[in-house]
Amino acid sequence: MVVLIFNIISETNVFIDHIAERFLPIPEKLSLRVVIHFVVSLILAVSAVFYFYLMVKDDLFFSHSIVQLMMLFGLFFIFILTLISVTLRIIEKWIFSVRQLEEMKNLKLTSDYNSLQAQLNPHFLFNNLSVLKSMITFDPEAAVHFTQNFTDVYRYVLQSKDKATVKLGEELDFIKSYTGIHKERLGDAFVVDVNVSDAAREKEIPPMALQLLVENAIKHNIAIKEEPLVIRIEAKGDTVIVSNNVNLKESVYSEQTGLDNLKGRYGMLTVKPIRIRQDRGNYMVEIPLL
């Protein structure tokens, strides 16, 4: 009967562990989980002892040395069982966290490589070097600003490659340099409107997140003086929204690998989703602030 009770306590702890993990996850609720395991096990053990007492109907039941020994052993068993149950769950969480971290690093490396590859794209370099050459000839002062933006873009890409998150303010400073390069090429056909509070600038996002969204808008839409491409970046609550008017190019095909990568990186950092909305005249991506 003692062996049966110990088995019941063991199986009950396994059941509680599976149920409690949904509502009281370890390590956030570790102390409460330990208390629950111990209290439930103790209630079952005490109930079993009194059940035996009622069955044998012996007033001296608790004075028997074997009963006292089994009660002491039972308490020790409950302690060990609770310790093992919680330890196994902590180890499982640790292994899961290590795997998540490794996956996030891989996604980060892929994103950094893709971003750097896009910036080093021969077409991108050729266009901007051609613009720089013309500016050196006709507007040397503007050429200095253009070169500075060009340098800032590559510096930020290289500096952020080892970071999981950066301040929104840092990303916006980078976006200013990045869009400055395109502004020199597109002129009045390209407009960027930023409306972000100082408080929001102190929050964090994955590096190159805004750059990806801005780059997609430039890549997929026509930008001409008569129909300029307008990109708006604004912070609302705990999110930052990047939106643009839609005037799609006919020849551009997208596999959305950039957005999928960004979703994967966010999935490692927060449960908050990325929201994408599109209608006939506007495309909007809303990403969480961390």
| pLDDT at residue 195 is higher than 90 | yes
Q: What is the mean pLDDT of residues 63-92?
A: 74
pLDDT score at 108: 66
Give me the residue spans of the domains in the chain.
2-101, 120-288
Q: Mean pLDDT highest for which of 82-96, 109-123, 131-145, 185-199?
A: 185-199
What is each CA distance from 23 to 20, 28, 30, 158, 210, in whole angstroms? 5, 11, 12, 41, 35
Cβ neighbours, 10 Å, residue 193: 10
Nearest to 186 by CA among 120, 127, 134: 127
The rounded distance, in Å, linking the Cα atoms of 180 and 173 is: 11
What is each CA distance from 163 to 158, 181, 207, in whole angstroms? 10, 24, 7
pLDDT score at 120: 44
Return the SS3 of 271: coil
Residue type, 193: D
Confidence of residue 123 (pLDDT cuts 50, 70, 90): low
Q: Say if residue 146 is exposed, middle or buried (CB neighbours under 10 Å; 0-12, 13-18, 19+).
A: buried
Eight-class DSSP state of 290: -
φ and ψ at 20, to 5 degrees? -65, -30
120-288 CATH, one of 3.30.565, 1.10.3210, 3.30.160, 2.60.40: 3.30.565
Retrieve residue 269's tokens.
């950092």
Residue in this structure with the two tokens 């006709």, named with its chain if needed: 138
Retrieve residue 10's tokens.
């063991």
Output 18-25 pairs: Cβ under 8 A, ≥24 positions apart.
Answer: 21/89
pLDDT score at 111: 64
The rounded distance, in Å, linking the Cα atoms of 147 and 243 is: 28
Return the SS3 of 64: coil
Q: Which contiguous run of DSSP H or E holds residue 59?
A: none
pLDDT one-digit tens code per residue, 6-21: 777 777 777 777 777 7
The rounded distance, in Å, linking the Cα atoms of 22 and 33 is: 12
pLDDT score at 253: 58
More confident position, 283 or 258: 283
Return the SS3 of 100: helix
> How large a percentage of the chain has pLDDT more than 70?
82
Cβ neighbours, 10 Å, residue 168: 25
| pLDDT at residue 50 is higher than 80 | no
Rounded to 5 degrees, what angle do the CA atoms 147, 153, 159 make? 130
Q: Are strands 239-245 and 275-278 parallel, antiparallel or unpaired?
A: unpaired
pLDDT score at 255: 59
